[in-house]
Amino acid sequence: MKKMYRMLVLGVLTGLLFGGMLLAEELDRDGSVGGTFVRLVEREVGEREYMGIVIKPFERDDHMTVLVPRQREELWRAARSLQEGQKVGVTFVTEAGHKFIKGMETERREVVEEGLEGRRRVNVRREVLRWDEDIREGREAERPAHPGQMEGQLKEVVSGHLERMGRALKEVLGEHLERMEAELRELRAHIERMQGELQELRAENERLRWQLRERGGPEREREREVRREIEERREVREREEREERRESERRREGAGREEREVRKEGEMGREVSLPEGMIGFRGIIIGRIVRKLDRGFVLKVERVTKVWQNNKADKPEASVGKDLIITIPADEETGRPFLRTLRALKIGEPVLVEAFHFEGNRLILVEQLRKYD
């Protein structure tokens, strides 16, 4: 902390001394600037009044103010005659942070009309005004002190600043130290509380371990039961999936058998065609079984007893005396009762059939298949 305090003091002292040196170097420094005139301002330096010429230097964005003393009437009048945007060049001397004019060069443009045609000609006129006398004449009271005197003044200022800064730093550091001590006390108390909680957690951990050892047997048995239950559920799910796959294969085989039966009928020269008047039939037919198929039978129609409201066949009676192919649905669950009934029926027996036409040259059983008395 002492080292930081010394570094801070040394930095402040260095900055003040460096500023004093720059200020001393600025004294009696001559310069010049060229740019465009912006405006006039009034300034007071000490007890004297000055007129300031505000110039925007070429190739720069900032403004510069050069002071003109009132006793130099020629420069005063020339400054008053400047117009905004007019090009102007100024030489100056810098003292105590102010720039005092030594000379000024201006450029004036005049448009002159000549002849009867009114041709215009631009005349450029340059005016140069210089103040060759000592710019410091009559202003000795305003001149800053000698660099030697300034050094003594800076030392006094620096020593006063250091003394005040030292007191302020001691107060600030004292407050920080007090806060840090209070925070350290709170931190120690917090650490003690955490150590107590840690001991309690360790004791709780030991107790839980003992309970696990005591309950290890039943817990493992329950885990085995859960695993067995999971395995059983997985086996049931796999069996169901296998059953679904077999059922799907049986349905495909049933549909294939139906197609083969139809093709077989055609090859044997006994192809059974559906009368045109039966397309879209929905109803009940009575007839006799001519022969059995793998999943259906051939029915010789004796009469049509009923048609439903959604029947689309325009001439169902056209099927009377003709053979129709009646098939059992490919769905195993739906077709199983029809297959049992068909096995019990004999060829030539009269039967009652409720069938619909969906596509192709055959009807499909939907509800009823029974012996007709």
pLDDT per residue over 303-322, tens digit each? 999 999 889 999 999 889 99
Within-domain flag for 229: no
Which pLDDT score is estimated for 268? 43
- Are 226 and 234 contacting, i.e. CB atoms less than 8 angstroms apart? no
Mean pLDDT across 273-278: 86
C-alpha closest to that of 54 among 85, 97, 77, 75: 85
The predicted structure's pLDDT at residue 43: 86
CB 281 within 8 A of CB 355: yes
Do 192 and 270 fall into the same domain? no
- Whether 77 and 99 have beta carbons less than 8 Å apart is answered as no
| pLDDT at residue 274, rounded to an integer | 86
Looking at the predicted structure, is the pLDDT value of residue 212 above 90?
A: no
Distance of alpha carbon 68 from alpha carbon 77, whole angstroms? 10
245 belongs to a structural domain: no
Given a cut of 70, is residue 190 above it in pLDDT? yes
Q: If residue 242 lies in a helix (H) or strand (E), which one and from where to where? A: helix 216-267
Q: Domain ends where: 91, 112, 143?
A: 143
| Total count of domains within the chain | 3
Residue 138, pLDDT score: 40
Which of 63-72, 83-92, 218-227 is least confident?
218-227
Quote the CA–CA distance of 127 and 123 in Å, as a whole number: 13
Residue 211 confidence (pLDDT): 76
Instruction: Tell me the CATH number at 81.
Output: 2.40.50.140
pLDDT of residue 78: 83
Are residue 109 and residue 119 in the same domain, yes or no?
yes
CA distance 67 to 248: 108
Could you tell me if 257 and 365 lie in one domain? yes
21/159 same-domain check = yes
Same domain, 61 and 101: yes
Asked if residue 107 and residue 74 are part of one domain, the reply reads yes
Q: Is residue 352 part of a domain?
A: yes
Domain co-membership, 68 together with 21? no
Residue 90 and residue 66 in contact, taking contact as beta carbons nearer than 8 Å? yes
Residue 366 has pLDDT above 70, yes or no: yes
Q: Is residue 228 part of a domain?
A: no
What mean pLDDT, rounded, does the chain reach?
79
pLDDT of residue 269: 39
Decide which of 25 and 69 is more confident: 69
Distance CA 105, CA 127 (A): 6
Rounded mean pLDDT, 256-262: 62
**What's the pLDDT at 305?**
92
Domain shared by 164 and 268, yes or no: no
User: What pLDDT is attached to residue 283?
Assistant: 94
Asked whether residue 82 carries a pLDDT value surpassing 90, the answer given is: no
* Pair 289, 348: CB distance under 8 Å: yes
Give the model's pLDDT for residue 14: 67
Same domain, 18 and 33: no
What is the domain extent for residue 114? Answer: 28-143
Indicate if the pLDDT at residue 60 is higher than 70: yes
DSSP H or E segment with residue 325: strand 323-327
pLDDT tens, residue by residue, 89-124 = 889 888 878 888 888 888 776 666 665 565 666 565
CB 95 within 8 A of CB 53: no
Question: What pLDDT is recorded for position 10?
Answer: 63
In a domain, 224, yes or no: no
pLDDT of residue 227: 85
pLDDT of residue 141: 39
Of 27, 20, 26, the closest CA to residue 156 belongs to 20
Question: Is the predicted pLDDT of residue 282 greater than 80, yes or no?
Answer: yes
Most confident of the following: 26-35, 122-131, 179-188, 209-218: 179-188
Q: HSE, CB side, 13 Å, CA atoms: give it for residue 104.
A: 27
* pLDDT on residue 69: 86
- Between 42 and 257, the higher pLDDT residue: 42
Confidence band, pLDDT 50/70/90 cuts, at residue 290 = very high
